[in-house]
Amino acid sequence: MKIAQNTVVSVNYKLSDAQNNLIEDGAQPMVYLHGGYENTLPKIEEELDGKEVGYSSTIQIEPEDAFGDYDPSLLKVEERSRLPEPLEVGMQFEGVAEGSEDEPTIFTVTEIADDKVVLDGNHPLAGMALRFDLSVIDVRAATEEEIAHGHVHGAHGHHHGHDDMDDGEEGDHFRSQPLN
Ligand SMILES: [Zn+2]
């Protein structure tokens, strides 16, 4: 079966930066619903569209097509007393960035001083060119329910009670992975 709109694609992947430093070894395959559901990066869908099981390739994706350029205005310094304890570098908090009233931003603690904390609202992969080694291991037709929800169910997919309607972000398998 060829990868097309409304197929569920399983891909083994390895993610490196442009200098070939490993970022994520993809111990679990990425499983996503193909066809513009924003389950994965559009450039990955573009690369895999029309391909079949056994296809593999390496693609490099520039920051503007991945997680954007690094935005220094998303760095902020907070009073340590405003954040919960215990506090560690690498912890993440949801907050609202200045100038974007509705979209909550995930801030990562990047530095802790005595009474101040540096929070970075950039995606950990912002500003980086990403190199993906991709290898297609499974392609199947999506179920009607998966198409209606815009994400994959079942093994490696999205698990939720079906009364939960507001699950768009959680269905975003790749981006919701903790990246280090
Ligand atoms: Zn669902």
For 9, 127, 162, 166, the CA distances from 154, given in Å and listed in that order, are 13, 33, 13, 18
**3-class SS letters over the chain:** CCCCCCEEEEEEEEEEECCCCEEECCCCCEEEECCCCCCCCHHHHHHHCCCCCCCEEEEEECHHHCCCCCCHHHEEEEEHHHCCCCCCCCCEEEEECCCCCCCEEEEEEEEECCCEEEEECCCCCCCCCEEEEEEEEEEEECCHHHHHHCCCECCCCECCCCCCCCCCCCCCHHHHCCCC
| C-alpha of residue 34 to centroid of ligand 1, in Å | 15
pLDDT recorded at residue 172 = 37
| C-alpha of residue 40 to centroid of ligand 1, in Å | 16
d(CA 38, CA 62): 17
Query: pTM (2 decimals)?
Result: 0.74
Does 180 score more than 90 pLDDT? no
| C-alpha of residue 162 to centroid of ligand 1, in Å | 7
| C-alpha of residue 172 to centroid of ligand 1, in Å | 11
Task: Tokens for 170, please give them.
Answer: 């959680």
Does 120 score more than 80 pLDDT? yes
Mean pLDDT of 108-121: 93
What does the mean pLDDT of the chain come to?
86
- Burial level of 144, CB count in 10 A (0-12/13-18/19+)? exposed
| C-alpha of residue 153 to centroid of ligand 1, in Å | 6
Does 59 score more than 80 pLDDT? yes
Fold held by 7-66+127-176: Chitinase A; domain 3 (3.10.50)
pLDDT more than 70, % of the chain: 83
Confidence label for 80 from pLDDT (cuts 50, 70 and 90) = very high
| C-alpha of residue 41 to centroid of ligand 1, in Å | 19
Domain ranges within the chain, ordered by starting residue: 7-66+127-176, 72-120
Confidence label for 100 from pLDDT (cuts 50, 70 and 90) = low
Mean pLDDT of 112-137: 94
| C-alpha of residue 11 to centroid of ligand 1, in Å | 20
Does 178 score more than 80 pLDDT? no
Instruction: Classify 72-120 by CATH class.
Output: mainly beta
Per CATH, 7-66+127-176 and 72-120 having the same topology is answered no
Which tens digits make up the pLDDT trace of 147-169?
999 999 986 667 665 444 444 44
| C-alpha of residue 26 to centroid of ligand 1, in Å | 23
Mean pLDDT of 77-92: 91
State the residue for tokens 């801030």.
107
Does 133 score more than 80 pLDDT? yes
Mean pLDDT of 135-158: 90
| C-alpha of residue 99 to centroid of ligand 1, in Å | 32
Mean pLDDT of 33-41: 95
State the residue for tokens 């506090």.
87
- Burial level of 97, CB count in 10 A (0-12/13-18/19+)? middle
